[in-house]
Amino acid sequence: MDLFANLATGFGAAVTPVNLGFCLFGCLIGTLIGVLPGIGPIATIAMLLPVTFGLSPLGALIMLAGIYYGAQYGGSTTAILVNLPGESSSVVTCIDGYQMAQKGRAGAALAIAAVGSLFAGCVGTILIAAFAPVLAAFAVKFRSPEYFALMLFGLIAAVILAHGSVVKAVGMVILGLLVGLVGTESQSATARFTFGVPELYDGVDFVPLAMGLFGLAEILSNLDRRRDPRAAATVISSLWPSRAEIRRAAPAVVRGTMIGALLGILPGGGAVLASFAAYTLEKKTSRFPAEFGKGAVEGVAAPEAANNAGAQTSFIPLLTLGIPSNPVMALMMGAMLIQGIAPGTAIISDRPELFWGMVASMWVGNLMLIIINLPLIGIWVRLLRVPYRLLFPCIVVLCCVGAYSVNSSTFLILMMAGFALLGYVFGKLGCEGAPFLLGFVLGPLMEENFRRSMVLSFGDPTIFLRRPISLCILLAGLALIALIIIPQFRSRRDEAFQE
């Protein structure tokens, strides 16, 4: 069959000692920067771009790709261990992953994340191999109106994400939206809420926000407790997930993979939704909804799978249409341009060894990553046993260094401190960070797409209803709102009956 012949070509090209070496190097560096707060794949790939001038095209792309999905694996690690999300997609893993670690199930959480990611990566690779053109055609149908509908849907889902009061969650989403609006608005080029600070012209940077709001705020609130917050976790639990946990995690992984694979192909913000959407789905369909937010296994398995599946499928628009789905893909496109390859539909037919070589190397890369990450779990868990008084200064240091490395700007460090204080206050008031963050990420995208849709339709708001895909998504959003409101009424009614 054609597919097998192509895969054979691909493996032949990818499994050479040189290219395997590039793959390993990429995966190692990727894991490292994923674990380190602050530095992300974008900065690293940008730094390595000049190095790729002199490499063979396939080798260069394999290495850079390895960095990208390696960082996904690494980012989950810090999210679970110390509540530090490496990327916007790891924020969801913080919610239940960190709670699992608090309960002494860090090893289980890490293992589930790793294996779930491997499964998702493999499925993602198969999807690319078999369905790339079909998926690309689907992705292209998404334009401004569809993206607006999708972002709106995501924001409604953000409210479900919260495990506390719905009203507060809505408030946090709105606050996040407002903070997300800081920066220069693209259509009118107006600077909003920047107070004349140059570093804010492009918006609040995600890294200091996330590190402050999640990782550092957590440290601030831990210091209020007299005893080591993980004293309960000195019960030596097994490093690996229990059978019950695996049984619950497995279907979650499959569901997460599907969601991630679909949302990942959407250029312009799809992947960001993947982990949130997967988490929301799990929470709403689980038999144990009360566990979410306190260490539910599905809350780690599904988002992690969604992440990695999305990371794989986000290559599709680039390799088939020449459209990068996110800044990392833009860099990969840059690397291709440097090599004299113009990405677009021509790649699959003109340079098949490049396309299939990359596909094959993704599978190899995922395998390498699981081999790297599984043994590391033991080390990470041991690291957690280090007394907190020695651990938290290290986290503070790494956050500071990471924040500075984003832009060599001390302003970002001060901003991080501000968010740490804010996150601490939020914690005291029972407000959750995840809805805030989702609002922050989705808000500007939603506004931009809404405005562009309005300009394109010359002011006709029915454009969202006339296009089938956006109509479907909006209806789904309404259904979601109903899902949120109805249980509230039912519980109030029950209370009334009891009285």
Partner 1 sequence: MVRVQSPQDFWAGILFILFGCAALWFGRDYAFGTLTKMGPGYLPAVLSWALVAIGGLLTARALAIDGPAIERSQVVPQLLILAAIVLFALAIERLGLALAVVLVAVTASLASRDMRWSETIALAIGIAALCVLLFVHLLGQPFVVWAF
Partner 2 sequence: MNDRLAMGRRGLAVAFALALCGLVLGPRPAAAQQDYPNRPLHVFIGFPAGSGADILGRYFAAQLEKLAGKPVVVENKPGANSNIAAGIVASAKPDGYSILFIASSNMAGSRFLFKNLPFDTVKSFTPVASFAEIAFMLTVSAKSPIKTVAELTAYLKSRKQNKYGATNQTAILSTEYYKQLAGVDAVHVAYRTAPEALPDVEDGTLDFMIMDGTFAVGPIKAGKIRALAVTSAQRIATLPDVPTMMEAGVGNFEFTPWWGAFVPAGTPQPIVAKLGAWMNQIARTDEARQFLERIAALPLSDDSKATAARLQDDIAKWEPLVKAAKIEPQ
Residues of the shown chain interacting with partner 1 in the complex, contacts defined by CB under 8 A:
32-33, 36, 39, 44, 47, 165, 167-168, 170-171, 174-175, 177-178, 181, 185, 187-188, 190, 192-193, 195, 216, 219-220, 223-224, 226, 387-390, 392-394, 396-401, 404-405, 408, 410, 413-414, 416-417, 420-421, 424-425, 428-431, 447, 450-451, 454, 459-461
At its nearest, how many Å lie between partner 1 and the CB of residue 93? 23
- Phi first, then psi: give them for residue 192, nearest 5 degrees: -110, 135
- CB 138 to partner 2: min, Å: 12
324 binds, among partner 2, partner 1, none (CB under 5 to 8 A by kind): partner 2
- Toward partner 2, which CB reaches closer, 295 or 444? 444
Residue type, 460: D
For partner 1, the closer of residues 120 and 437 by Cβ is: 437
Question: Residue 219 CB: number of other CB atoms within 10 A?
Answer: 22
Per CB under 8 A, 26 contacts partner 2 = no
Question: Which residue, 234 or 238, has its beta carbon nearer to partner 1?
Answer: 234
| R_g (Cα) of the chain, nearest Å | 22
Q: Which of 158, 91, 89 is nearest to 477 (CA)?
A: 158
Phi first, then psi: what are they for 149, rounded to 5°? -60, -40
Distance CA 166, CA 494 (A): 18
Q: Are 167 and 159 in contact (CB under 8 A)?
A: no
Please tell me whether residue 468 binds partner 2 under the rule CB under 8 A.
no
Residue 448, contacted partner among partner 1, partner 2, none, CB below 5-8 A by kind: partner 2
97 vs 183, beta carbon nearer partner 2: 183
Strand partners, 183: 192
- Report the alpha-carbon distance of residue 311 to residue 62 in Å, rounded: 14
Shortest Å distance, C-beta 202 to partner 2: 4
- Three-state secondary structure readout of 249-313: HHHHHHHHHHHHHHHHCCCCCHHHHHHHHHHHHHHHHCCCHHHCCCCCCHHHHHHHHHHHHHHHH
Q: Which stretch binds partner 2 (CB under 8 A): 3-11, 16-24, 242-250, 328-336?
A: 328-336
| Structure token digits, residue 85 | 């999300």
Q: What are the residues binding partner 2 (CB under 8 A)?
A: 42-43, 45-46, 49-50, 53, 140, 143, 184, 186-187, 189-191, 198-199, 201-202, 267-268, 321-324, 327-328, 330-334, 337-338, 340, 342-346, 407-408, 448, 452, 455-456, 458
